[in-house]
Structure 1
Amino acid sequence: MLKLPARLRMDNVPQVWAQLEGALRAELAQVGNAAGRSVSLDASGLNDFDSAALSLLLSALRMCGQNGWQLELLQPPKQLRELARVYGLESLFWADAAVTAQSSAAAALPV
């Protein structure tokens, strides 16, 4: 499992992405022989971030998708999920967000 650093801001995201991209490529190659087609990214230590963090996560999601893999973002801080929700990206990272959005939309329909 890969782990995000504690800080993801505009000034350090390019350096973090350079490291994460290499680690993702290695993980995809290593896990490629395993049964699962999913890569886990632990976000539990992330505590200082801005919207550039979403850019990095979208890049990771895109890389995994291009290779036929899914990216699992584990233990995200509440504020990161909220930021993703504000930008309309929450359902890209967390399947339960898509279910919640569908349930809310269905509940809002007149009967």
Structure 2
Amino acid sequence: MLVLPQELMQSQATACLRMLVQGLRSQTGSDAVVDASGLSRFDSSALAVLLEFRREALAMGKKFSIRSLPSRLADLAKLYGIDELLSSAAPTLVK
């Protein structure tokens, strides 16, 4: 399981995505699970990171899911109309 940092703002997005993709490439399983339980400060860049990570995971043939996505971020995804891209693969989306 890969873990999002406590803070994920635009200035950290590129580094966070790089870290997630690097972690994904080092995993041997068929699941790409992101734990967002520690994420407490974020902007819409967090959604961009999750969407790009999802794309990378699916391109590698892995199942994508998110655990414990903060409800405020889930609401933001719904506002932008991308909640289904995140929730369709993630039954544990919101904590």
Moved over 4 A (4+): none
If the length of structure 1 is used for normalisation, what is the TM-score? 0.75
Aligned equivalents of 1:54, 1:3: Cα separation in 2 = 15
Residue 20 (structure 2) aligns with: 20
Aligned equivalent of 2:87: 94
Taking the aligned partners of 2:50 and 2:76, their CA distance within structure 1 comes to 12
2:64 equivalent to 1:85: no
Q: 1-side partners of 2:19 and 2:32: how far apart?
A: 16
Q: CA deviation at 1:68?
A: 1.7
Q: 1:76 aligns with which of 43, 63, 69?
A: 69
Change (3 A) 1:96 1:68: closer
- Compare CA radii of gyration and give the structure with the larger one: 1
The gaps in structure 2 that reach 5 residues or longer are: 91-95
Identity across the alignment (%): 33
TM-score for the superposition, normalised by structure 2:
0.87
**SS at structure 1 position matched to 2:11:** coil
| CA-based RMSD | 1.6
Q: Separation in 1 of the partners of 2:18 and 2:89?
A: 30
Q: Which runs of 5+ in 1 are unaligned?
A: 32-36, 98-111
| Structure with the higher helix share, 1 or 2 | 1
**Number of residue pairs aligned between Structure 1 and Structure 2:** 90
